[in-house]
Structure 1
């Protein structure tokens, strides 16, 4: 497979982010009965981290939003992301966006919109990219 084959562009990635946000809102309603806002926010944050980290590992790079739009996260070689890959992508990438007060996020938006490989800062950190290619048949379980 060619490196960075069929990279997904900004609008599909953004649409998947919106759909995943709707999933988080629905999940958040499950915790609405918890009176302590800090506890509720903490639980919601942990659920989101698990969703964004574990689901792509067990589901060939997909989240629900990405699956709906036909895109998925893969390692640079086209393989399914590992736990280390996803922790780098989500946690370290998130830290970079946070310590730059969102400036790195704005740079990432331009990178996905302009670069030929459509990779953002968190993709570079984790050695990933987002592709329109489905998983290979060898990786699927019948």
Structure 2
């Protein structure tokens, strides 16, 4: 088994910001075409990006690839749609129902825990690690 370094708060935040700039802005611009549905289309586009790209791109999003980190399952199986649904949808619902309190707790967990896992990582059985090429 290869020992991998867990990705901490700042590198994960950097990846999210890069995804927002590189992917989020173009999706938002495309969504503008849909008029009154632009918010729904924009959110759906970003949701599908976060759901599908890591499954088909070995745990990477564009931002994560640039930052040299990737999502992995704890059992070393490939990511699946189900895993990413748990991570995004169920994790997002937890954050929403707690009015963002769970999101703050997750950020503290990533910053303070040795394994750097957030609540959505526990829900989905995932971890974010630095790839072996760095």
Contact 1:75 1:127 in 2 (8 A): yes
Q: Taking structure 1 as the reference length, what is the TM-score of the superposition?
A: 0.87
Q: Note if 1:34 corresponds to 2:34.
A: yes
> CA-to-partner distance for each residue in 1:24-70, whole Å, 9 max, x for gaps?
1122112223321xx11111111111100000000000000000000
In the alignment, which of 49, 74, 91 is matched to residue 51 of structure 1? 49
**CA distance, structure 2, for counterparts of residue 131 and residue 67 of structure 1:** 11
Tell me which residue corresponds to 1:7: 6
In the alignment, which of 70, 73, 77 is matched to residue 72 of structure 1? 70
Q: In structure 2, the residue corresponding to 1:130 is in which secondary structure?
A: strand
In the alignment, which of 59, 62, 66 is matched to residue 61 of structure 1? 59
In the alignment, which of 113, 116, 121 is matched to residue 111 of structure 2? 113
After TM superposition, which residue ranges in structure 1, 4 or more long, deviate above 6 angstroms?
Answer: none
| Aligned CA distance change for structure 1 residues 121 and 57 (closer, same or farther; 3 Å) | same
- Structure 1 gap segments, 5+ residues each: 136-142
Aligned-pair CA distance for 1:77: 2.4
**CA distance, structure 2, for counterparts of residue 31 and residue 104 of structure 1:** 29
Q: In structure 2, the residue corresponding to 1:74 is in which secondary structure?
A: strand
Tell me which residue corresponds to 1:126: 124
Tell me which residue corresponds to 1:21: 20
Contact 1:73 1:80 in 2 (8 A): no
Question: Greater CA deviation, 41-50 or 61-70?
Answer: 41-50
Q: Taking structure 2 as the reference length, what is the TM-score of the superposition?
A: 0.92
Aligned pairs, how many?
Answer: 132
Aligned-pair CA distance for 1:73: 0.4
Tell me which residue corresponds to 1:139: none
**CA distance, structure 1, for counterparts of residue 128 and residue 28 of structure 2:** 27
Higher helix share: 2
